[in-house]
Amino acid sequence: MIGGEIDPTARAEREVRGLFADDEALDRGVSWARQVLDDAGIDPETQQIQAIRALRRAERGLSLIAARYLVSAASGRPPRRRGPRSPVLR
């Protein structure tokens, strides 16, 4: 496919797995995010932008998409998986 992966959730999951590199990478990534946010006193449900910034400061290699994914998952709202179509075309 030209242009790479369209599904941002799949891209975020792949990136998080790469950072934590094992079969339980997503669970460990979400646990890590919860711990970072808890230590910073940030509520991922009500302070999403601050939460994203805190995670990206804690892990410089974390993309915006992966940080959004982790914030959503840490707040108890796991991101929905989208189909192969671009979200712009929906």
- Asked if residues 16 and 8 have their Cβ atoms less than 8 Å apart, the reply is no
Claim: this prediction has a pTM higher than 0.75: no
Which residue stretches of 1-90 are H helix? 8-20, 25-40, 48-58, 64-74
Residue 89 pLDDT exceeds 50: no
Q: What is the pLDDT of residue 73?
A: 93
In this predicted model, what pLDDT tens digit does every residue of 48-77 receive, in sequence order? Answer: 999 999 999 999 989 999 999 999 999 988
